Amino acid sequence: MSLHHTAAQNLDFKIMTFQPTMEEFRDFGKYIAYMESQGAHRAGLAKVIPPGEWRPCQSYDSTEEMLIPAPIMQVVTGQSGLFTQYNIQKKPMTVREYCQLASSSRYCTPPHQDFHDLERKYWKNLTFFPPIYGADVSGSLYDQDVAEWNIGHLHTVLDMVEQESGTIIKGVNTPYLYFGMWKTTFAWHTEDMDLYSISYLHFGEPKSWYAIPPEHGKRLERLATGFFPGSSQGCNAFLRHKMNLISPSILKKYCIPFQRVTQEVGEFIITFPYGYHSGFNHGFNCAESINFATLRWIDYGKAASLCSCRSDVVQISMDVFVRWLQPERYELWKQGKDSLLLDHQLPTAVSSPELELWRQTKATARNKLLRRALQKWQQLQRLSAQEVQVLLEEGEELDLPEYHQQVEQRKAARLQEWKAQVLLEGLEMEEPELLTWLKAEGTEEQEVQDRKSECHLWQNCPPNFLAEWHFNAAVAKIAPHCAVCVLFSPYSEPHKDPSFSGHPPTPHDVSHSCPLVPEMCFSSEPVHPSSHTEGYSTSVLLSCSTCSLQVHASCYGATPDQLGEPWTCSRWVHVICAIAVPEARFVNTMEREPVDLAAIPEKRRRLRCVYCHNLTEQVRGACIQCSYDWCSTSFHVTCASIAGLLMEPADWPNVVSVTCHKHKTSNQKVEIKNSAQMVLKGSELHALGSVLPKWV
């Protein structure tokens, strides 16, 4: 087993399979280094078949009585190779109950000829009959005396996290068990902090894996950002949510290199730093996994992107690793000047002088555990089973019933103190602010009626081109200065009534800005973004010389070369309505016209807008509805926009999400009174039809 490496190895990113001898198998860290010396890490994933005489567990009989505390139902939505997965927690069940469920007619593996046939059925039926996954079950099925490749005791660089700081992260530096059934899925992701991972399939049906080479990880991220704009705007590291699925056909279409491999019972799968992977289970099975690290990972850990929107995100301080293992770069790293570029081709080293020094001077994990247990015992904090065991081994006299009673009493006292604090804070709330909000919401329709005479742009009024001119110029002053992007930039400030005695104001003097509307919103099929934008960041602004309408070239479907000459808009049906109404579509996506309304159902056309249904006898235009759970509140697109409702890009195929005032969070509230006044000034802008002025 030579560690000789050449950069030319594994140029085609093939997933490699290794079959070590028992002698080679004994040293986990050394064998991982050997695999990388052969180029295995360039594929992002590798398979290891252990020696035939090796067994991790002599019997799995007791597994049936294990409890799966939080099984999840995986609900998948989407189409055309792009899907979003949502997890719904179910009640606890034993492994025996889970096995019976997985074998039932509803959840069992369908008849199939071979793997390719099963894979085709997986992608075809992904959105039907949500399976239940027994994921993230703490524990290990290894016998305690197993020394080789024991997932709970790999003795890698990652041990520094627990031994230096006493930090235990379930599933990261302690093992997790995964009980799967047919179609249970793990979506595209890299490991937390871009660590390595190891997965062993104990028993059951095979597991399929897809892998993308780390050298092409950024390409997958850019592709996913375009396909899931709603998720990407909320969090730059949204793929860490493990919710987004992209099929092999889409990856092929956009030339993203990937490989697939099937993991059989008794085989290991190793994933490497920054290696995106996903997959699914062929039927009932059980796998065990954990994360680990090598010297090569440290630079990946320092550069890893972190989820910014969830409180349970795994974050490991890199301080101990850099301080001990890269001492010459520690000061530069603390100052933010350690800008070493990642080399995805470079294999890891087995060890280093710095690592050997740390191993010689480190405190044992047992001593750390003992000190922590003694401290918690003295402070009457609840002990874990491991901590109780180590104290008993040290001869400590533990009166467990009395100890637990004292813990519960202290816990109850803290709870009472917290309730009293919450009650006090509730009494100190400013009630007038709440009353003002409710009053404003209750009198919204009355204000609309009182100011009815002040409108110039209603659909039942004579055309008033000057009022339209003023309105368009006013909208052009709202960032990003585009009448289409205003869909995702609701009016939050009251506008003064325009004066009709003079010339209209000049549109905002900006030549470029960043569009808010993702290209996905214009498409009736999952096409990756490609428009008149510059590097997907800015687009030329065009201003109509006739009516002062200002739009992005990319949003309107105009060509940027029209900037240098007088430009006039086409005065066609509302593009923002066509974006927001699910059944409306652009026949020519690039030109944003014509708009096909034939698929809009009559049921949608009969919906009544909560803002303007009392202002006109005739029901016109298709409404959209609040996206919050089962809320049925309906409104016209432009009525909602002018009223200040929150609209955001969402993920394919429902590309726009809108939240009514009732379901806004506190930090999303706008002044209802001001919004109601603005409904008056644009309430006629809501219809999808040729009977209205054809504005954007």
Active centre residues (catalytic): 171, 178, 189, 191, 277, 289
Nearest to 181 by CA among 64, 306, 74: 74
Query: How far, in Å, CA of 108 to CA of 102, rounded?
Result: 6
Token pair of 283 as six digits: 């039927």
Taking CA atoms, 128 is separated from 79, 112, 116, 119, in Å, by 12, 18, 19, 15
Please give the angle made by the CA atoms of 205, 210 and 235, to the nearest 5 degrees: 120
Judge residue 499's burial from the number of C-beta atoms within 10 Å of its C-beta, 0-12 exposed, 13-18 middle, 19 or more buried. exposed
Pairing of strands 244-246, 93-94: unpaired
Query: Cβ contacts of residue 214 below 8 Å, gap of 6+?
Result: 41, 42, 44, 272, 273, 274, 275, 344
Spatial contact of 228 and 238, defined as CB atoms under 8 Å apart: yes
Spatial contact of 102 and 151, defined as CB atoms under 8 Å apart: no
Largest Cα–Cα distance of the chain, in whole Å? 94
HSE, side-chain direction, 13 A CA sphere, residue 215: 15
The position carrying tokens 């919906």 is 607
Taking CA atoms, 675 is separated from 487, 489, 498, in Å, by 15, 13, 17
Pairing of strands 244-246, 82-89: antiparallel
Single-letter amino acid, residue 621: G
Query: Cβ contacts of residue 4 below 8 Å, gap of 6+?
Result: 37
Q: What is the 3-state secondary structure (H, E, C) of 572-611?
A: CCCHHHHHHCCCCEECCCCCCCCEECCCCCHHHHCCCCCC
